Amino acid sequence: MRLVSLNLNGIRSAATKGLHAWVESVRADCMGVQELKAQAPDLSPALSVIDGMQGFFHHAQKKGYSGVGVYSRVTPSEVIVGLGDEEFDAEGRYLEARYDSPHRRLSIISCYFPSGSSSEERQQAKYRFLARIAPHLRALRQSGREFVLMGDVNIAHREADLKNWKGNLKNSGFLPEERAWMTTLLTPLDQGGGGLVDVYRHLHPDSTDASYTWWSNRGQARAKNVGWRIDYHLATPGLAETARAASIYKDSWFSDHAPLTIDYGYAL
């Protein structure tokens, strides 16, 4: 099972920068995308199905904003759109594709966490989202369902996850409260945590500069590799243990984010 997570920073923009050719070369089984920045009428057939994968989407009410999707080569048994939270469902932040059978329960989730960098108001919204999604994911975990959440979490967890960590200690994305939230999410269930695994870090515990997935458009950040690792695969332990290889594609650019691809020894 090959899974890709990619913040598109606008699906129509990414499509003009070689997205289709790259996706066709990867042969993913599922691709979780974030920041569609498009409504349903904006998605042409070429954007609704990519490389034979059918797209399922959660659009924001506001035009040109947010939105997530899952492209899947296998038809899901069920698609859940939204968290059931009025504030954040209006922003198009969560889609869960389920692949259930009599023998197992599996979900592939695409999620776009709010950014708090633009204002204190948006930072408070980010904290509300973290408070809302943590028990949701914990309940999924406790139910015995295997799942992986792919997405732009907008949090760098550790000092190794961004170039200039000292200069960002008071900035959204690396605040102590955000990092503590992530630590709790990755703490085992029997220790009071969310019981999930950061799959990239499971495979590459010591990676630093090579791990970044986002770069600011300012100050030649990409050329200087002044990046952040804010895109994740967060999986249940049973699924994470089957992870075999991870890669971050940086040879060409469809977005200000790079795609994160992970192969699992698990079948849809």
Binding residues for Mg(2+): 7, 35, 152, 154, 256-257
Tell me the two tokens of residue 153.
Answer: 């979490």
Known active-site residue 152: yes
Known active-site residue 89: no
| DSSP designation for 96 | E
Known active-site residue 264: no
Is there a contact between 228 and 213 (Cβ–Cβ < 8 Å)?
Answer: yes
Q: Give the integer Cα–Cα distance in Å for 109 and 174.
A: 23
DSSP assignment of 9-59 equals SSHHHHHTTTHHHHHHHH--SEEEEE-----GGG--HHHHEETTEEEEEE-
Is there a contact between 123 and 110 (Cβ–Cβ < 8 Å)?
Answer: no
Catalytic option among 58, 59, 233, 257: 257
Catalytic option among 71, 94, 112, 264: 112
Tell me the two tokens of residue 100.
Answer: 């259930």
| Secondary element (H or E) of residue 124 | helix 120-142
Catalytic option among 29, 94, 152, 200: 152
What are the strands, taking DSSP E only, across 99-190?
106-112, 146-152
Catalytic positions = 112, 152, 257
